[in-house]
Each structure stands twice: as C-alpha cells, then as structure tokens.
Structure 1
Amino acid sequence: MNRKTLVLPAVAGLLAPVLAACGGTDSGSKSSDAIVVGTTDQFTATKEAPAPVDPAYAYDVGTWNILRQTVQTLMTEPKGEGQVVPDAAESCSFTDSGSERYACKLRDGLEFANGDKVTAQDVKFSIERALRLHADSGVSALLNTIDTIETQGDREVIFHLKTPDATFPYKLSTPVAGIINPKDYAKDKLRDGFEVDGSGPYTFHADVKDNAIVSATFTKNPNYKGYVTVNNDKVVLRSFADADADAMGAAIDKGDIDVMTRTMSPAQIQKLDAGSDKNVDLVDMPGLEIRYLAFNTNAPTVKTKAVRQAMAQLIDRGALVSKVYGSQAEPLYSLVPASITGHSNSFLNTYGNPSVAKAKSMLAKAGITTPVKLTLHYTTDHYGSATKQEFEVLQKQLNDSGLFQASIKGHPWTQFRPAEQRGQYDVYGMGWFPDFPDADNFLAPFLGKDNFLGSPYRNSTIERTLIPESRRESDRLNAAKTLTQIQDTVADDVPVLPLWQGKQYVAARDDITGTSYALNSSSTLQLWELGRGVSG
C-alpha cells in the first residue's frame, strides 16, 4: 500500500474582478472499462423530498456530486484549486467597478447531451426557475443577490445584482446555477425522481430500488464542451446500503469496486495508512468539511443564551477529536476553517480552555437551574459511522460537569433533515461542506433569513451591514476585519457551536489514476479525473 499526501496551493479565497477563459486538464488514462466508485452517501426520494436531484432543490454534498458530473455551470472550480474559471462560459467578468454587473459569454456550439442547443435564454430560465421555486432546502439563497437577468442574443448573459457581491462568480459554479433544458424541467414545479439531464461531462442513469439509488452510471457525454477533460468512458457510483463503510471496505479489498470515497471510518483510514493493503492506495488531501452543533434558539431548553454559552465553555474539542478522529481532524473555533482567509479563533478567544467553574457561573448569573436536561440529536447515516461515538463523547463531557443531563438520539438522514428544518430538535449535530471556498460561504448560509438550517436566530447587524460589507471586497484580505466581527458575534450568541474540521480521503486500487484530484477542497467529486492505468 502506498500512502499519498496531496499538497494543494493554500485556499486563499481571493476572487478576481475579471476571470479569463481557460483550457482543460490532462491527467489519467481512458478506458471503456467502467470505474466503480463506492460511497456511503444515500440518495433517497421521500414524500417530503420527492425531487432530491433537481438543481433547484438539491443542497447536500452527495446530490451535488451527482449534479456536478451532469449539469454544467457557467463557472467551475479548477483542478488544483484557485479562482473559478469558465466552463459553459467562454468568458465572464464584472463589467463595473462596484461588483454589481456580471456578464458572461457562452462557448460557441454548446449543446445539451440530447443535441439541443444551449442558449443564453436557457441560462436565464434555469436560474430564474431556482429563484422562483425557492425550495425549502434553502439552496436558492445562494442566488439571492441577483436582481434581474438580461440576455443579448443566444450567447450573452448579464446579471444585475441588488448589492455588490465579489463572491458571485463562485456562486455561478454551484449546481443551483446549473443550466437545464426547459424541455426537461417544468418552469413552476420541481422534477420528481432521479432523472438528470444537462450539458455536463456525463449523462446519468440511476438504478433505483425502494425509492433509493442503488447505483448510478455516468457515461461520457460526447457533446460536452467545457473546461474539464474526461479521462474515462464510464463511471459507476455504487451506494452502500445503510451507509455501511465496512461493506464498502470489503468491496474494495475484493476488487468489486475500484475507488472508495466518503465516508470511510476512522479505523479504515488508520488501517490503510499503516500499509495493511498492498493493492490499495490511500490519498489524503486538504479539506474544508466542518462539524458543529446547531440550536433551535426558540426552544425552551436552549433559548437562554447562557445555556448555549455554557456548552461552548464546557466542550473540549481537543479531547473529542483525539478520542474519535485522531489525526484525521483538528479542533475548530469558528464556523470558518483555519485555512480560509478571514478565519478567526473567535470561540477560543471568547471562552479559552474548557472550564466547569466558568460554565457554572454563566448559568448561575442567568438564573438557570441545573442540571439542564436536553437531548443531542444526530444522523446515523450521513456523516459517517463515527458520528455516534462523537456524540457519546459530547454527552459524557456535558454530563461529567454536573451542569447538564444530556441524552443522545440518532435518526436516519431522511427523517433527521426534515425534522431539523421544522425546528423539532433543540440541539442537533450537522456538517458543512462548502459551496465554494470563501469565508462568506461558512457564514451567510447560517445567518440570514433563508438560512440553510431554518434557524430562527437573527442578527440585523450581521444581515444588513456586515455580510453586505464583506461582499464588497474582491480582495478577501480586505474583508477580514468585517468577517472577524461576524465570527465574534456568533461566538457570543452561539446559534451554532463549531467542533472540528476534517481532512478528506480517497482510497483506490493501485491501477486507478487521477485519484489525487478526485476530490477538491470543497469535497466536489471529480469523476472525470479518474482513469485506469497499470497495477503495481
């Protein structure tokens, strides 16, 4: 077994006001033999979420990784990180000094997979549709700075923004801005089921059982014209039932799958890292995944800020990471990861080291009777098999203080996510994989009116002043002061409690090439990078 560590350029989150057209990639080798990729992600259609892969609804890393292969966007994140580059677009740029007018020109001869021409009007239809449908997943909030969309001929699209937004080019790289064919997607209704059609690198077919994807086949789209080079003819994504990481590991050992992605268990990663399998390579790379506790700030148990602050004062992130994840994660003291421009250790600065005495004083001053009884909710099948152990450690830390009487309860994601959005959980654990690598995307989705969590927490200064101010700065270093103010406010109010940020891993049999770029720092699966080479 060979262990590879991928070192990419530091994620600076720097957004340039002008973005030039770029060429393609050149790694990997081509083969008609399908590459089989395993995942523990579950793709399920339910009564509450019957359209899980509609670009106007999808808003989790698993479904986005389906859409990124199939539905093309104007911009895309490049191989090796850095500023976004044109994909469906030939070129894009701000055409004013205030970052309020953004113009794109489509590539000549762009087609959907079925041969239909892709036009500027299709771009306008797709994005206006997502805004109009305003799905309860919260994904349309990524586009909420758009005022109007103008087209000029078949190839030019102009976005007029309500307020300056230097992060807008990144937002056009996300699947909610994906270009879809009006023939396939109704204007005023989500598309139920698992059909996806677009102009991306692959076409898509799902094998479905009991309203869940068992496997998905991605076949190279001969009509694709864009930034990436597709290094294989076909990839099959196999979803392991019940998010069974052990079954996925057994499958790669037997050669039933070629690649293993999220989410491997900590034990599997440690085993591969130790060189236990000479036929499987482990690649680790920088990641921007974070985990945190979220609060329904209207719930009686945690409505008083002092209760949330006391939890922030008690939880020992270092011990949590050490016991559950080891070297695979590190403590996090802000919603913004340490590698992102604008990060501040606001929770560490506010609370210092864990202290029972300080937490006790906080609760006493607020007149809170102890022990505070509450339940910590977590999902059993979305963030990996170690989640239960993580919550057992959190429970023990809180209860050992004598100030809390916490219980824990696990739920499958199909139940967990809708219940969380409806405010049924007072305290619950969530993860975040960024839509794009900028501090704004670790703050704005949690703190606005249409926030991702459906949280009742509001702070008018953050919403009306600080976030808009930060978006005016195309050089993100100049936004650092404003971003720090936001993080300090979050540390004081504790609507969310950051816990850790993690690395990300890919395991592959040793005849598979391109694995070092199979995931980018935003956890985007880039299946086109994979190829089949020579074993050994």
Structure 2
Amino acid sequence: MNRKTLVLPAVVGLLAPVLVACGGTQGGSAGGDAIVVGTTDQFIATDDAPAPLDPAYAYDTGSWSVLRQTVQTLMHAPRGGGAPVPEAAQSCDFTDKVSESYRCKLRSGLKFADGSPITAEDVKFSIQRVLDINPDSGTASLLANIDTIEANGDEVVFHLATPDATFPYKLSTPVAAILSKEKYEGKKLREGFQVDGSGPYTMKTETKDGHVSKVTFTKNPNYLGDIKLRNDKVELRSFADADAMGKALESGDIDMMTRAMSPEQIKSMSENPKEGIELTEMPGLEIRYLAFNTNDPSVKDKAVRQAMAAVVDRGHIAGKVYGSTAEPLYSLIPASIGAHTNSFYNKYGEPNRKKAAELLRKADITTPVKLKLHYTTDHYGTGTAKEFEALKQQLNATKLFDVTIEGTEWSKFVPAQKRGEYAVYGMGWFPDFPDPDSFIAPFLDKGNFLNTPYVSTEARELIPLSRKAADRTSASQAFTQIQEIVANDVPFLPLWQGKQYVAARSGVTGVERVVNSSSDLQLWELGHGGDA
C-alpha cells in the first residue's frame, strides 16, 4: 500500500491481553469437535428490523461478529492490528495524491461458498446495493462518500466525492461485504437469518421463538483469502443473560464466553480464579453515552443538557457499577485514541451543582426539570440498569432535575429511538475501525446511525477536512475543534470507556486474539491445544 494508506493514528494506552487463572481440565468440546462460544447478543427479526443479518442493514457488534465469519471484504484488519491489508483483494491503493481514487485488484480464483466465481461486477453490485437501499440503520453513511464505481475485468475503482484517507478502513467493515446477485436483491434487504458469502466459514442457524439460539460456523472449502483458520467448526450460542452463560462455561457446555460478561463475573474471576477457567482482558474501545433528541421540548434548550453535563459524576458511575472494568470518559473519542481531548472536563470540570443551577437560571428554565431516561435491558449487559439507577440518583440529588428511568428490550428500544420517541437515552458504541473518525462521523455527519436531529454545520465541514490527512496525527486539530463543539452543545454526553473480557476453559488457544479492538469476534483464531 502506498503512503496514502499508512497506519492510522497510534492507539495509546491500550492494554496487552492479560490472563487470570489457570487449570488443567479440558473444555466441553475437546478434540475434533466444534469449539462452543457463548454470547448474550440477541439475534431477532422483527417488523421494524426483518433483516438483522443483511450486511446492508446490520450495524451492531453482535451482527457484525456473525458477518465477519461468513462474508468477505476487499480489505481486513491484520492479525496484529494496524492498517488494513488485502483480503478478497490482491492489492488496493490510492492512485492519486489526494485520496480520491482507490483501486483494488481481486485475488485470482475467488469463489462464493457455493462455488460460483466472484467478479469485479459482484463487488460493484454489493457496494452500490448498500447505497441504493440506504437503510435507516445508518450503514450507508460509511460508503456515502463514493461518487462512482468502475468494474473492469479483475479491478474495481472507487471514485470518491471528497478525499478520504480512512476509506480502506471502511472497505474492511461488513457493510462492504461482497455478495452474489443470485442470493441478494439489488434494492431490497434479505429478510431472515441466512448469510451467504465467501468468508472463512459457511453458517447454519437454529432458531427458537423467533430468536437465533445457535449459529454453527463450518470451514468454507472454497475460501480464498488472507485469514488462516485454526479450527474447522465453531458454534456460537446465544444466552439470555451473563449468569446463564457463566453457568454453561462452568459446567463445560461451552468452551468460552464473550460479551457481555457482567462486572460481577469479571470481579469474581479476577479475585477468585476457578480451576480450569482463564479470564482474558483485551484492548477495547467501547464507549457509553447519553444521547439527546434535541427536538424534544424537555431537552431542546442546550442549557438543560449542559446542566446535566455539569453534575454527572462519571467516576462514581464507573467505580460503583463497573469497578475496574470502566474508566470515566470526557469526550466521544476514547482516551486511548491519539486525538482525544478531555473536552467535557475542560468545560465543566468536576461535578458542580452551582454551575448547573446557574446555567438553568440564565436560560430561564424552571426547575426541577422533568426527564425520563431510557435504556436497553438486554444489549449491553446487566450493569446498564444499575448505571441508570445511579444516574437517576445523581441528577435527582441536585433538586434541579426530576428524573425517572425506563428499560426496554433492544428489539423495541432501537425502533422507538429512531422514531424520536425518547428525549434522553443511553447507548454504547464500538467503533467501525480504530480512528477518531469512527467516533465522530457516525454521530454528527449526515445520515448518522442515530438519526439525530442535531446538526452542527461547523462539525460537518470539519469532518471531510479531517479525512484529507493521510498522516492521521495531522487531523488532530479538526478533531479537537469537533470535540469542543460537542462539549458546548451536548447532543451527546459521554459517560465511560470500557475494557473487554472473555473467559475460556483451559486448552482453548487463540483466546487473546478472538476479539479485535472494535469488539468483533474473530472465531478463526480459536483452536484446541495446537499452535495459536
């Protein structure tokens, strides 16, 4: 790759994988059987979201974890992290000096899992399909900068509307999956749970009461790409909660559990290791935040949002609810990304009721301000309810707010949020790729995934400006300005940044590489006792 696709900014402060506990027993799938992995991610098809695993629609960590096993993209993140490398492509490069024309040459002999050949026209079809469908999930925003696509023989050329040094990263996301015209319609989402692609695995789902209970991934004999598989089969089982998943690990019914382990489980495994089970801590870039429907009368005046920012005690929430697994966050960009600034702390400082009261008084806002805070009960783990209870207590203790909270299951929470039914709601974010852009554009750019009514013209001018920088460290000034805009207008209120953990039975190898920094599963890394 040429100088236009150098490694994006240094990610500092990330922890190397840390293992806790050791034992000598084998897991429940020792030998040549499938490696069994547990998750609390729920895969549900509803009237509002009938195509949860269509790459053109899927935009959550759980769905992406399924897609990364089964579809192929032109680029992908290398095993050790860093800039994307070719996957379905043999090579990809910017062909100009301003990062506006990106050319990829396909590997020779590429096939879909059913044996049919992959052509440049398939790549063009797949990318154009996302833009044509343009679902309300926000996936199309990742590819919206594409002006035209050329397919010539074994080459695909993307002409961008504006320079974008982050484009190779976007081509490494499941949104840019290569699909077959025979299996997917060009302007319609594919409903249900089946995924067909050319990735390292094929998949088969089992459902119960409209939910996916198990996904079986089997080695794809027609796969041709950069990924090395260390197993032939993996089962991904979905559990209702972390406790049920933990019991399955202890009994040997599963070999590993992933997100979302509860803070209590992590603390227990750290302090009282169990024979035969290892806890692994890995680098993570997850953030949690409050989002505001700035058209709602209760929070339309930014003084209300600013007052909340002035009194919320992030340290108390992180420490009381999540312990050592979370750290206070004062920007949408995590502290472990180079362009981060403590913009909220710089503006509001430590929790200060007097400052909040003055903000509300100057805006002539009657107190206490009545608000309902919404959260999802089954998507981010069991700590979410406790987190919102702590938020309610903090805000109500000031006597400036009269807050109630309400939890809703994820399948109903997301459609209601997108319809604008919530004035204030809690969300988590796992980046599409490890660059500051992935913590800014999805929130503030046109077509953002939250469908937020908030618009900052200045921020939307700075976003394309930041993308011109091939050396991502030189984009810091633009990101600093954007973070200051967010701290002043408070369309989002960052709360904390989390670490990520998995726990596995002894004898399972590759555990320290099974989750990337964006929290997507890389199940091909798992093995039984052999080379990791």
Fold conserved (TM > 0.5)? Answer: yes
Maintained 8 Å contact 1:15/1:166: no
- Whichever residue aligns with residue 185 of structure 1, its letter is Y
Q: Which runs of 5+ in 2 are unaligned?
A: 8-28
For 2:87, the equivalent position in structure 1 comes to 87
Is residue 2:506 matched to residue 1:510? Answer: yes
Give 1:402 shift: 0.7
For 1:124, the equivalent position in structure 2 comes to 124
Give 1:79 shift: 1.2
How many residues align? The count is 509
**CA distance in structure 2 between the partners assigned to 1:221 and 1:375 by the alignment:** 48
The 4+ residue runs of structure 1 with deviation greater than 6 A are none
**CA distance in structure 1 between the partners assigned to 2:256 and 2:448 by the alignment:** 34
Q: Which of 514, 529, 532 pairs up with 2:525?
A: 529
- Whichever residue aligns with residue 162 of structure 2, its letter is T
Maintained 8 Å contact 2:5/2:470: no
Maintained 8 Å contact 1:215/1:239: yes
Per the alignment, do residues 521 and 16 of structure 1 end up closer, same or farther by CA in structure 2, a change over 3 Å counting?
Answer: farther
Identity of aligned residues (%): 62
Give 1:46 shift: 0.3
For 1:9, the equivalent position in structure 2 comes to none
Give 1:275 shift: 3.5
For 1:457, the equivalent position in structure 2 comes to 454
What is the 5 A alignment of 1:21-170?
Answer: 32-153=32-153, 155-170=154-169
For 1:228, the equivalent position in structure 2 comes to 227
**CA distance in structure 1 between the partners assigned to 2:383 and 2:492 by the alignment:** 21
Give 1:345 shift: 0.8
For 1:394, the equivalent position in structure 2 comes to 391
Give 1:80 shift: 1.8
Give 1:449 shift: 2.2
What TM-score do you get using the length of structure 2 for normalisation? 0.94
Is residue 2:330 matched to residue 1:333? Answer: yes
What is the 5 A alignment of 1:277-296?
Answer: 277-296=274-293
**CA distance in structure 2 between the partners assigned to 1:61 and 1:496 by the alignment:** 20
- 1:54-113 per-position Cα deviation (integer Å, ceiling 9, x unaligned): 001000000011001001000001112111111001110101000000000011111100
- Whichever residue aligns with residue 134 of structure 1, its letter is N
Give 1:229 shift: 0.3
For 1:474, the equivalent position in structure 2 comes to 470
**CA distance in structure 2 between the partners assigned to 1:214 and 1:179 by the alignment:** 26
SS in 1 for 2:515: coil
Give 1:339 shift: 1.1
Give 1:30 shift: 11
Give 1:16 shift: 4.8
- 1:147-173 per-position Cα deviation (integer Å, ceiling 9, x unaligned): 0000111x1000000000010000000
Maintained 8 Å contact 1:15/1:476: no
For 2:515, the equivalent position in structure 1 comes to 519
- 1:286-337 per-position Cα deviation (integer Å, ceiling 9, x unaligned): 1000000000000010000000000000001011101001110100000001
Q: Which runs of 5+ in 1 are unaligned?
A: 1-13, 21-28
- Whichever residue aligns with residue 499 of structure 1, its letter is L
For 1:6, the equivalent position in structure 2 comes to none
**CA distance in structure 2 between the partners assigned to 1:368 and 1:286 by the alignment:** 43
Give 1:207 shift: 0.3
- Whichever residue aligns with residue 335 of structure 2, its letter is A
For 1:265, the equivalent position in structure 2 comes to 262
Give 1:368 shift: 0.4
- Whichever residue aligns with residue 506 of structure 1, its letter is V
**CA distance in structure 2 between the partners assigned to 1:203 and 1:343 by the alignment:** 39
**CA distance in structure 1 between the partners assigned to 2:378 and 2:257 by the alignment:** 16
Give 1:32 shift: 3.3
For 1:200, the equivalent position in structure 2 comes to 199
**CA distance in structure 2 between the partners assigned to 1:526 and 1:397 by the alignment:** 39
Give 1:15 shift: 10
What is the 5 A alignment of 1:277-316?
Answer: 277-316=274-313
What is the 5 A alignment of 1:326-365?
Answer: 326-365=323-362
SS in 2 for 1:286: strand
CA RMSD of aligned residues (A): 1.5
**CA distance in structure 2 between the partners assigned to 1:16 and 1:219 by the alignment:** 38
- Whichever residue aligns with residue 251 of structure 1, its letter is A
**CA distance in structure 2 between the partners assigned to 1:350 and 1:530 by the alignment:** 45
- Whichever residue aligns with residue 242 of structure 2, its letter is A
Per the alignment, do residues 367 and 19 of structure 1 end up closer, same or farther by CA in structure 2, a change over 3 Å counting?
Answer: closer
- Whichever residue aligns with residue 523 of structure 1, its letter is S
